[in-house]
Amino acid sequence: MTDSAETTSSETVADSSQPVAASTPPSWTPEPSAQESALGAAAERPEIMVGGAFAGGLLLAMILKRLAR
């Protein structure tokens, strides 16, 4: 008899406490959040992200220019 063939009562209890997967999928799916839809759009059109970074850089430069006066 080997140690791997033996089961103890604590192992049996641990095995029975495993969650059970649902047998049927939910009847509805939640709407994607704004962040998920924005990431999907950015994945399809990366030029949107580049344009946003460019506009953000210009805005930051304008703010810093006014602060430097």
User: Which pLDDT value is given to residue 45?
Assistant: 86
Per the CB < 8 A criterion, the answer to whether 40 and 32 are in contact is yes
pTM for this entry = 0.44
pLDDT of 3: 55
Higher pLDDT, 25 or 3: 25
Q: Which residue has the tokens 């939640």?
A: 30
Phi-psi region of 24 (alpha: psi -120 to 50; beta: other; left: phi over 0): beta
> Higher confidence at residue 28 or residue 62?
62
CB 48 within 8 A of CB 41: yes
pLDDT in tens, 4-61: 555 555 555 555 676 666 676 667 777 777 777 777 877 888 898 899 999 999 999 9
Q: What is the pLDDT of residue 38?
A: 73
